[in-house]
Amino acid sequence: MATAATLPVVGPGARDLLRRAGVLSPVLAVLALLLVPGGGGGAEGGTGGTGTVADAASGLLVLVCLVRVARGGARPLTRTAAVVLGLPVLGICLAAITSNDPASSLPGVARYVQVFVLVPAAVLLTVRDRRDFAVVAWALVGLALLQGAVGVAQYLTGTGASYQGEDIRAVGTFGATDVMGMATVVSYGLVVVTGIALGSGPGRARTAALVCAGLLFLPLVLSFSRGAWIATVFACALQLLLAGPRRAARVALAAGALGVVLVGGLGIGSDLVEERVTSITRVTAAPDQSVTDRYTMWAAAGEMWRAEPVTGVGLKGFPRYRDAHASVALSSGSDTAGAGAGFRRQPLLSPHNMYLLVLSEQGLVGLLALVGSWTALLVGALRRRGGTGADTGFGPGSGPGADCALVATGLLVWQLVDFFYADIGGPSTVLMAVVFGLAAWWSLVGARRA
């Protein structure tokens, strides 16, 4: 008979981690299912792109959360949280009601409510404390590492999405029709590990975060996504400022050295990266067609808003009214190919600017409601950044921890900056909802918990 000394023993730290993973399993399932290849569709922009397995998992997350609340097993939203998270519903419903075609606006209502209200609220209610926050944050990093590894392999083997005539663009499992998917996931991961490296958690956590940052830097570069680059620079710069000059200087030097080695010393994509960076500033002198299309669609969105300034042209109305307001400089679509898919002409169905998309489809009321909600979350995160205390996530001896304040603030800033160059649409959109939920937990609940 086996004695007690010979029986396998699971330590308290491992038991706690397993218990937390069980409670958080609906959220973790959403992240895990984003590894499922997205197929050929789902990146139409705007309110398109629903129907992935990750979207189905997000619906299950909301359902599980509702059951827990009904059974009294979860804390309901506070009045402040309900107002902040529910504010976007005002503009969404008003735009749908006043639309010239309310029936066609209904899918847009479902998508906006899913991404900006229901899933963030479900994540907020599921995450109970800072260690739960840390589990989800590190799971997000794990997803970013896996997608980044696929992206680097695509670049090295020439099996990525088409870029300047070569199949070298790193897109992960999202495919050629959602070239921003991997860039978004990797950027989230890089912002998370930057917050951990700059935080006050255990030394092992900061070391692991620096290693992960080095691994995530390369796939972000190879995504050739200008919007993701700009948003990451802004978010990490703010995190550096909030962390203090001494720690910021060390991390900045390490990141700079890494960039020189990977892009300059090893020459990985250096010519293409240099050309892509230079193209950011060429908005008036010899811009490429993608830049021309983007500014043309921005102008069209502005014209739609001027026609319907209060409530907009209605949800999912941008594609319908685009040609009536766009100039002849707009091309018929963008070319996509590679990453296992054939050549396809991708229609331009959104302005690729979230603020202008909302302004054109929901008017000033919708924009103020959404931006008001996001601003409240950001202000709350910034006001509570000093309240992290000694418990930054996982305690000593039970694993790495995350500095919730820097992570939540960085994720919010990244998303709000990226919205100047992108909008919702594609399989990675549901991940955006999870990120908003994490940020909302810290901003509205987490900083007041021990």
Residues 253-299 pLDDT 10s: 776 676 666 655 555 555 666 666 666 655 555 556 677 778 888 98
- CA 310 vs. chain centroid, Å, equals 29
**What SS3 string covers 121-144?**
HHHHHHCCCHHHHHHHHHHHHHHH
C-alpha to C-alpha distance for 425 and 351, rounded to whole angstroms? 12
| Residue with more model confidence, 330 or 105 | 105
pLDDT value for 371: 96
pLDDT value for 425: 83
SS3 category, 352:
coil
Q: What are phi and psi of 50, to 5 degrees?
A: -85, 175
pLDDT value for 278: 63
pLDDT reading at 410 higher than 50:
yes
**Nearest to 199, CA basis, from 139, 137, 248, 234:** 248
pLDDT value for 379: 92
pLDDT value for 3: 40
427 residue type, one letter: P
pLDDT value for 368: 96
pTM equals 0.87
pLDDT value for 319: 86
Q: Of 27-41, 203-217, 230-244, 320-334, which range is least confident?
A: 320-334
pLDDT reading at 41 higher than 50:
no
C-alpha to C-alpha distance for 358 and 95, rounded to whole angstroms? 10
pLDDT value for 401: 39
| pLDDT, tens only, 383-400 | 876 544 445 553 333 333
Q: From the CB of residue 331, how many other CB atoms can be counted at a distance below 10 Å?
A: 14
pLDDT value for 167: 82
pLDDT value for 430: 95
**What is the percent of the chain with per-residue pLDDT over 70, rounded to a whole number?**
75
Would you place residue 378 in the very low, low, confident or very high pLDDT band (cuts 50, 70, 90)? very high
pLDDT value for 394: 34
| pLDDT, tens only, 166-190 | 888 889 999 887 888 999 999 999 9
| Residue with more model confidence, 214 or 21 | 214
pLDDT value for 43: 44
pLDDT value for 9: 40
Q: Which residues contact 189 (CB under 8 A, 6 or more apart)?
A: 140, 141, 143, 144, 145, 148, 212, 216
pLDDT value for 407: 94
| pLDDT, tens only, 92-119 | 999 999 888 888 889 899 999 999 999 9
pLDDT value for 6: 41
DSSP summary character for residue 339: T
Q: How far is CA 261 from CA 77, 131, 212, 438, in A?
A: 48, 35, 16, 33
- Taking residues 184-199, what's their average pLDDT? 93
Would you place residue 338 in the very low, low, confident or very high pLDDT band (cuts 50, 70, 90)? low
C-alpha to C-alpha distance for 116 and 173, rounded to whole angstroms? 24
pLDDT value for 249: 75
- When the pLDDT of each residue in the chain is averaged and rounded to a whole number, the result is 81
C-alpha to C-alpha distance for 222 and 154, rounded to whole angstroms? 10
Q: Of 59-68, 156-165, 312-321, 398-407, which range is least confident?
A: 398-407
Instruction: Report the length, in residues, of the chain.
Output: 450
pLDDT reading at 367 higher than 60:
yes
Q: Using the structure block, give the residue that is written with the tokens 């997205």.
A: 38
Q: From the CB of residue 385, how many other CB atoms can be counted at a distance below 10 Å?
A: 18
pLDDT value for 361: 93
Q: From the CB of residue 280, how many other CB atoms can be counted at a distance below 10 Å?
A: 12
pLDDT reading at 42 higher than 90:
no
